[in-house]
C-alpha cells in the first residue's frame, strides 16, 4: 500500500520539478505528510485508541531530527540547493537502510 503512495508522490514531484513548479512540489510533499500524520492517525485513533510501542521512539526521534533539518534548510534561503538535496536524500536512505538491515 505504501509503495503506491511513494510512486504517485514521486511522479507528481518529478513532473512539478520538470515544469519548474518547485513551490507546488514542496507543498505536495509537506502537505501529504502532514495529512497522513494528522488525519489518518487521528481518524484511526478516534475509532480505536492506539498504543505506542516504545520500540518506535528511536525512529520517531530520527524523523523529528530530519524534519528539523529540512525545515531549517527550507527556511534559510527558501531554496534547497543540490548539496542540501543530496544531504536530505542521504539521510533518508540511511534511515531506510537502517530499518531494512538492522
Question: Among residues 12, 33, 51, which one ends one of the domains?
Answer: 51
- Please identify which residue in the block is written with the cell numbers 538491515: 101
Number of domains into which the chain is organized:
2
Running along the chain, 102 residues long, what does each successive block of 10 average in pLDDT? Answer: 68 76 70 78 89 84 80 74 84 81 71
- Please identify which residue in the block is written with the cell numbers 489518518: 40
Instruction: Give the range of the structural domain holding residue 60, as residue numbers without chain letter.
Output: 52-102
Q: Does the pTM exceed 0.75?
A: no
| Rounded Cα gap, residues 9 and 22, in angstroms | 14
Is 8 in the same domain as 30? yes
What is the reported pLDDT for 93? 86
Amino acid at each position: 500500500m505504501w509503495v503506491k503512495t511513494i510512486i504517485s508522490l514521486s511522479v507528481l514531484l518529478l513532473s512539478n520539478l520538470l515544469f519548474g513548479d518547485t513551490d507546488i512540489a514542496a507543498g505536495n510533499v509537506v502537505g501529504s505528510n502532514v495529512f497522513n500524520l494528522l488525519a489518518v492517525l487521528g481518524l484511526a485513533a478516534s475509532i480505536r485508541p492506539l498504543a505506542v510501542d516504545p520500540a518506535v521512539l528511536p525512529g520517531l526521534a530520527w524523523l523529528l531530527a530530519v524534519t528539523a533539518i529540512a525545515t531549517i534548510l527550507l527556511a534559510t534561503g527558501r531554496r534547497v540547493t543540490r548539496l542540501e538535496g543530496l544531504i536530505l536524500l542521504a539521510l533518508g536512505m540511511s534511515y531506510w537502510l537502517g530499518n531494512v538491515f538492522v
